[in-house]
Amino acid sequence: MDIGHALGADGGTSVQALTLYLPNKDRDGREFGDQRRWVLAAAQLLARIGGGVTILPAAEGGWQNPDGGLVWESPVLLYTYIRPTEFRLLMPELREFLHKLGRETNQGEVAVEFDGRLYRITTFDEDGDPSWPNKTRPIGRSKTRRRRTTE
């Protein structure tokens, strides 16, 4: 059975989900206080990547700190089903966002799930654009950066 045809779907299909886990505490277990700002910035970016975004209510979760203790927090999960072209084009911006989140909220790790795999970012790039995510970029527009490579 062709499910798309049976449902009358003509907008294509997306099969790969991208999920961001946005914490409310830092690596020391302290609330950093501006989780909502990060959630809204992530939502804007994911909507551009997939054409829409779903934000789940805060979950309850925990992670083991280096001392062996369990730190409880309330992460917010956001996801989108990607559009491959937009995903590739916006990958540098996604990386910038995730590394900025890690740096500015003092994370030990930032988790991203894509296509059934969890990626853990533990070393963060240096700050490249200190004003983001405070500025809002219109949906459908991307800031692009070209990096020089040497061989």
| pLDDT, tens digit (0-9, with 9 covering 90-100), for 90-128 | 999 999 999 999 999 999 999 999 999 999 999 999 876
* Closest by Cα among 81, 127, 104, 96 to 23: 104
> How far is residue 64 from each of residues 27, 67, 70, 77, 108, measured CA to CA in Å?
10, 8, 5, 19, 11
For the whole model, what pTM was predicted? 0.80
Based on its alpha-carbon atoms, the radius of gyration of the chain, rounded to whole angstroms, reads: 17
Q: What is the pLDDT of residues 50-86, one digit of tens each?
A: 999 999 999 999 988 888 889 899 999 999 999 999 9
What is the rounded distance in angstroms from the CA atom of residue 62 to the CA atom of residue 58?
13
